[in-house]
Amino acid sequence: MSVKKVLQYGEKSLREPSKEVHKVSKKIHELVQDLLDTMYAKNGVGMAAPQIGVNYRVFVVDVSTNNEPLNPLVFINPKIIKKSGAIIAQEGCISFPEAYTDVKRYKNVMVKALDINGKSFVMEAKDGCLLARAIQHEYDHLDGILFIDHCVNRFETDNILSKHNLPPVEADRLIEDPVLDKELESKND
């Protein structure tokens, strides 16, 4: 279809929760193609509908590397049904050009969603792999949550954001996840 304008951090609609898709229609097929076109044009690993200003629970991911064929994955109305373990890893986002910071994520996730044909599927991603982190990152976009809300160090993240002329972390949006924090603490003992 076409490469769309990507909303940048600070635009209000990135913080709004998305609506469920009721029918995998031609419109949704076009949205998925726009997401893929935009993600590939921006050299991204994932792209969620809210990032191009569309308020639907849809995201795409492709974790293939340079020497592998493209392997686009489509998630419509996803739900994370299981999560465990913990990892700290550096993340960025197409809505935050060039800004990367350490975030807390679950190491293993299981997600249930519809594919491009409206068929239900379950996928598991383990061991803190890029796919596991990308699923969580894009899933968050559907709830108006951004990767910086999971940052390890708010002040370090603020410094990184200011270097890229982006607004600071919104302290009231930082995610409190006692289960994840406990997992991370047990790794440091």
The per-type count for the chain, helices as H runs and strands as E runs, is 4, 7
Query: Backbone phi, then psi, for 11, in 5-degree steps?
Result: -80, 125
Q: How many other β-carbons are positioned within 10 Å of the β-carbon of residue 18? A: 20
Query: 125 pairs with which residues across the strands?
Result: 109
Closest CA to 75 of 131, 116, 26, 43: 116
Query: 87 pairs with which residues across the strands?
Result: 105
Q: Which residues are catalytic?
A: 138
- Asked whether 78 and 139 are in contact (CB, 8 A), the reply is yes
d(CA 79, CA 180): 18
